[in-house]
Amino acid sequence: MNIKLLFPLALVALSISCYNLTPIKPTKPNIILIMADDLGWGDVGFNGNKIIKTPNLDKMASQGIQFNRFYSACAVCSPTRASVLTGRNPYRTGVFTANCGILRPEEYTIPEMLKTKGYATGHFGKWHLGTLTTKEKDANRGKIGNTKEFNPPRLHGYDVAFVSESKVPTWDPMKKPANMKENNGSLRDGWKALKKGHEFKEYGTHYWDINDNKISENLDGDDSRVIMDRVVPFIKEKVSEKTPFLAVVWFHTPHLPVVAGPEYAKMYSGYTDFEKNYYGCITAMDEQIGRLRALLKEEGIDKNTMICFCSDNGPEDGTPGKTGIYKNRKRSLNEGGVRVPGIIYYPKLIKKHFETDFPAVTSDYLPTIASLIGYDIKKIPYELDGIDLTPVLSGKTTNRSENIVSCFTDQISLNGSQYKVYYKKGKCVYYDIIKDPSETTPIEETPELKGLREKMDIRVSHYKDSFDGKEYGTVSYNREEQTWRDPVTFGQNRK
């Protein structure tokens, strides 16, 4: 298949509309965006898991909207995170995969938008959109003198931060056993929680504040609790100041290495150590979400707070993570790699719980929030890929106006209301994703499906235009010295 520009650029503007204009009464809801890390679609009770205890998420799903077709914008971590903050496909900014590129400072983000409406903004947990120090070795890319990839949250509209560059263990996040065999584990998968007095080494990934200071206090025990211990005072302070807030809470759970505290591992006796760690850390995360919701009620702001929950992609290979009936896992644009748990809870607009098969994606957050706060989306001079979900939240629409297009390595996919186009290594197949959600039987190409493929091709060409600096110049392009990762020729020895 030729994934090149199929129509003159003059027609492009007519082919793509990036948002719905649905008038609603502007308000100033508090916004909380929660993301789990490598949590599979089937790793939560509300999607049918009978083993992992997620009572707080299940309750929130039963009180808000449960999305049966919620998609991460990519099949790995960093790109999806870029899509959340910008409303754009991550290929536009060169965040092609984990530990690749940065969220370019020229991009317009949710926190920057909210600050124009008087919001306080905080980011807590994983960052993974650039490095956080130039003064020492940290995590995957942080090192002395590495200014090219230095890109902390303060450059993107945040007032407060408690962030790590990338993954950490889900228990005692700054530590790993000095003797891995004694803790029945491996550096990749995880280990039994360290007991008091056990020798340990530094894991190598640290937490940093908004002013690039390394944090050393209150870092033991459950990592989700460590993160929430920073979210809680931020919210309390903003409530006391009567200031609306954005809290982006990106948990590390259940990204490897998974480690569950003794009380959580005990809940899953009879399972393997790996399963105890995996299941236990998810339950510990769920407990902290329950803690957060209790705080909102205590502060009297529950009804005027929108909480969005999802995962950044499907479960890692070789873990106990579940995708339900969906095909493949993390790193695949088949459904199991990108269809993730999705909840939106906002009592002021969502009057009654319902489930929906409406296909939504992480890029939809920014246009939706813009609509809620009365921000004129036309002020953003860059092309968006997400749409306004407020008609869905109020139960007024069932069909998506624009298709979801994703890229990763040698794959491209288009998800519409009924059909899916999936391209990999020169082969394009089509699915009726409603009748065949497991992607077992490709269907014949029709003129309608061919048209969807052509729209997908055009959209990818738009991503490259943005990557090349068409919208805001080449300062970041030149700084990063990246080349375009064409999903058609990826891995092939040709230009």
Pick from 483, 457, 32: nearest CA to 232: 32
In this structure, the strands spanning 305-311 and 30-36 are parallel
| Rounded (to 5) percent helix, strand, coil in the chain | 30, 20, 50
pTM equals: 0.94
Is residue 200 within 8 A of residue 178, CB to CB? The reply is yes
SS3 247: strand
Task: State residue 9's pLDDT score.
Answer: 32
How far apart are the C-alpha atoms of 390 and 371, rounded to whole Å?
Answer: 7
pLDDT in tens, the chain (495 residues): 444 333 333 333 333 333 333 445 668 999 999 999 999 999 999 999 999 999 999 999 999 999 999 999 999 999 999 999 999 999 999 999 999 999 999 999 999 999 999 999 999 999 999 999 999 999 999 999 999 999 999 999 999 999 999 999 999 999 999 999 888 899 999 999 999 889 999 999 999 999 999 999 999 999 999 999 999 999 999 999 999 999 999 999 999 999 999 999 999 999 999 999 999 999 999 999 999 999 999 999 999 999 999 999 999 999 999 999 999 999 999 999 999 999 999 999 999 999 999 999 999 999 999 999 999 999 999 999 999 999 999 888 778 989 999 999 999 999 999 999 999 999 999 999 999 999 999 999 999 999 999 999 999 999 999 999 999 999 999 999 999 999 999 977 433
Task: State residue 315's pLDDT score.
Answer: 98
Task: State residue 26's pLDDT score.
Answer: 63
In the chain the first and final C-alpha atoms are separated, in Å, by 17
Query: What is the set of domains in the chain, with CATH numbers?
Result: 25-393 (3.40.720.10)
* DSSP E strand stretches across 17-92: 30-36, 65-71
SS3 274: helix
Q: Which phi and psi (to 5°) does residue 120 adopt?
A: -90, 145
* DSSP E strand stretches across 334-466: 339-345, 354-356, 360-361, 404-408, 411-415, 419-424, 427-432
Is residue 128 within 8 A of residue 90, CB to CB? The reply is no
- Amino acid letter, residue 159: D
Task: State residue 471's pLDDT score.
Answer: 97
The answer to whether the bond into 257 is cis (omega within 30° of 0) is yes
How far apart are the C-alpha atoms of 74 and 434, rounded to whole Å?
Answer: 21
Is residue 313 within 8 A of residue 81, CB to CB? The reply is no
